[in-house]
Structure 1
């Protein structure tokens, strides 16, 4: 029976998109809303896609409603595949090995806990042949607030595997302070990796269970061994 659950962030944790997502958002802004502008000043690190969209709409004075969000997200999803190619999005060190190790272990399970909408998450993962590792997850579609997503992920894990994973056997893995906070809300262990926009020292100041420069750090393999 599976008794440990790893919940993964995507951007800055599994992959580095080098601005592909931001470029796709700016393309959607131009094509859907007729505005050519930079969105680099939006605080997107660790946020959900729907939270980011709300900031974009407020920035340019557009009414934020579900229909408008859907149209904008449709345009973003259409732009995303080409942006991933042109910005040379890539898998981060140690990720492929870690995902495969968890995938082949008969007592471990893994899922997504990401601020991406599910369609965007699937596009990003498929681009790197990583989608096969994640049959379910919690996404921005479920809530605009990242701290709401942990309970959703646990509920879906229970439904999918038929197991109530105890909090001390759940690990939330991400690259921002928001990931650490999200894991703490559900009582999970938290692993922070400095492969995004935040330094190792900054992440450590938020007191995760463990913090590493990257998932290639031998310490992360040792943590998995401790499971």
Structure 2
């Protein structure tokens, strides 16, 4: 039954792309952050989401955020119900596809909910939490985020600090 559901869900999302584009929006700085990270040697960007892969691809495409994403490396709703397992799945797929010895601590999960923070922590991956308005930076920090930012427009120094293995404070943005 799940496969039929997934096909129907993807079909409905394709049919409603216009509505999705009118009702939703990309977070400020998201496209620039993806582009900046795409230019960083050794960085692979993918998706961890409870959505099925086809729906994730549609949603990101609608908002122009799909260009730098390696969808085959992600973790999706059809892979597991547990978010931490989706993080591990994405790391495992990256290892398998690239042949790189990617440690969990080498990953960076960027999320905007306490559930995202919990998944990253449970999987052993550092978490950059983005306070998009639904959850405050303080709440995300209390949930255990490695570091928090107000939005993706202020995240660039932190990305570079974390990618270089420096503590978050070195990036100019505190935990």
Where on the TM-score scale, by shorter chain, does this alignment land: which range? Answer: 0.7 to 0.9
More strand by share: 1
Q: What whole-Å deviation, never above 9, does each CA across 1:76-107 have from its counterpart, x for those lacking one?
A: 424431321331x2221221221111111222
Length-normalised TM-score, structure 1: 0.64
Pick aligned residue for 1:77 from 2, 7, 13:
13
Please name the residue that 2:60 is paired with: 125
Give the number of the structure with larger relative contact order, counting CA–CA contacts within 8 Å between residues 6 or more apart.
Answer: 1
* Deviation >6 Å, runs of 4+: none
Q: CA separation of 1:100/1:70 partners in 2, compared to 1, >3 Å: closer, same or farther?
A: closer
Please name the residue that 2:85 is paired with: 148
Q: What whole-Å deviation, never above 9, does each CA across 1:111-148 have from its counterpart, x for those lacking one?
A: 11112111111111111222121122111111122222
Instruction: After TM superposition, give the deviation of residue 215 of structure 1 in Å.
Output: 1.1
C-alpha distance in 1 between matches for 2:22 and 2:109: 30
Kindly report which structure 2 residues correspond to 1:86-101, keeping only aligned pairs within 5 A, or say none: 86-87=22-23, 89-101=24-36
Q: CA separation of 1:80/1:194 partners in 2, compared to 1, >3 Å: closer, same or farther?
A: farther
Please name the residue that 2:172 is paired with: none
C-alpha distance in 2 between matches for 1:164 and 1:151: 14
C-alpha distance in 2 between matches for 1:67 and 1:134: 24
Unaligned runs of 5+ in 2: 164-175
C-alpha distance in 1 between matches for 2:3 and 2:52: 15
Instruction: After TM superposition, give the deviation of residue 68 of structure 1 in Å.
Output: 6.3
Please name the residue that 1:37 is paired with: none
Please name the residue that 1:190 is paired with: 127
Length-normalised TM-score, structure 2: 0.81
C-alpha distance in 2 between matches for 1:106 and 1:155: 19
> Does structure 2 conserve the Cα–Cα contact (< 8 Å) formed by 1:150 and 1:185?
no
C-alpha distance in 2 between matches for 1:110 and 1:85: 23
Q: CA separation of 1:90/1:69 partners in 2, compared to 1, >3 Å: closer, same or farther?
A: same
Which protein shows a greater Rg?
1
